Each structure stands twice: as C-alpha cells, then as structure tokens.
Amino acid sequence: MSDMMSKISEGLERAFASQGFAEPSVEDLRDAAGVSLRTLYKYTPSRAEMVLAALENRHQRYLVRVFDDLPEDPSEALDTILTRVGDWMATESSHGCLFHAAVAAEPGSQPLRALLEHHKAEVAAKAAAATKLKGADIALLLIIEGLTQAWPLHSEAALDAAKRLGLSLLSPDR
C-alpha cells in the first residue's frame, strides 16, 4: 500500500469509527483523510471503496495489535490475546465491531461481507495457532466476539469472563 493510500485509509477508518457509516459526508471523509477531494476519489473512487479501504486498514492494525509478539506458552498467549482485545475495545472500539457495523449498514454488499468473513477467519486462525488449540478456531472466535459485543455493557467483567471461558478450552478434558 502506498504512503498516500495508507494516509487516506487511516483517516477514513478514524472517521467511520467515530461517526458511523451513514453520517460522514464526503467532505468530512476528505477532511479526515487530509487530502483533496480529487486525491480522495483517485485512490477510493466511491464511498464503498472508502469503506473497504478503512476496514482493510483496521484489519491490519487489529492483527498487529492483538497477535504480534505473543508469549509461546498457550495459556499466556490466550491471556495476552484477550487482554489486548479488551485494550482494543477500551481505546479503539468501545461500541462493538466496526466490521459488523459496516455489514449492518449495507447488508447487501458482498465485498463487505467477504471482508468481514476474511477478518474473522484470520482472527480465529491466528488465535488457534497462538494457543496451540488446533480445531478450536470457532470456539476461540466465539469468545473473542463475545468479549467484543459484551464490552460496551460490561467492560472488565466481560474480559474476566472471556478469560475464564478461554482457560476452559485449554483444560485437557475439554
């Protein structure tokens, strides 16, 4: 991704995360990206492309923040992953998942649905690999998604519950 596209994607992500997908005008999105309208449309020729660019940026940031430099021990890795998801929710996304919000805003969009599916599959696969829980991708995703959705109502209590559920997956008699 070019430096200009990164700049635009970062600004668009911030705008959609703070204002939702319906509210920001093209001028708001241009201002958030810090470029001219001509440059914005050169790199993202439609609002749909703007949303996809923002979500792709978010996908990459999330993966780095949650999965980079994890401990080798599966139990410690799981604790770290869930702690980082809680930190993400506290600082980046206190209202829930931006990918789900995008699909809810435009439910008929196949590109949005495909990006949502790709994001969630990669999160699940990375969590399973880091915790050495082969075949537990969906269970781990369910815990992470549950934490993400419960965070706005329960914050730290949701994190504690997610960690308890995660530890149950690591027990030998699961």
pLDDT digits (tens, 9 = 90+) for 127-172: 999 999 999 999 999 999 999 999 999 999 999 999 999 999 988 6
pLDDT of residue 93: 75
Q: Which two tokens stand for residue 169?
A: 């997956």
Portion of the chain with pLDDT greater than 90, in percent: 91
* Residue that wins the pLDDT comparison between 23 and 82: 82
**What pLDDT score was predicted for residue 173?**
63
Report the C-alpha gap between 142 and 161 in whole angstroms.
Answer: 12
Q: What b/e sequence results for 88-125 when a residue is b if at least 16 CB atoms lie within 10 Å of its CB, and e otherwise?
A: bbeeebeebbbbebbbeeeeebeebeebbeebbeebbe
Mean pLDDT over the full length of the chain: 94
45's tokens: 């020729």
Q: What is the pTM of this model?
A: 0.92
Q: Which residue has the tokens 């992470």?
A: 144
Residue pair 16/33 in contact by the 8 Å Cβ criterion: no
The average pLDDT across 89-111 equals: 90
Q: How many domains does the chain have?
A: 1
Domain that holds residue 163: 3-170
* Mean pLDDT value of segment 107-126: 96
**What's 153's domain CATH number?**
1.10.357.10
Q: How far is Cα 83 from Cα 134, in angstroms, rounded to an integer?
A: 21
Q: What is the pLDDT of residue 95?
A: 75
- Long-range contact pairs involving 1-10 (C-beta distance under 8 Å, separation at least 24): 4/35, 4/39, 4/43, 5/43, 5/53, 6/57, 7/33, 7/34, 7/35, 8/33, 8/35, 8/39, 8/40, 8/43, 8/44, 8/53, 9/53, 9/54, 9/56, 9/57, 10/57
Residue type present at position 100: H
- Give the amino acid at 72: E
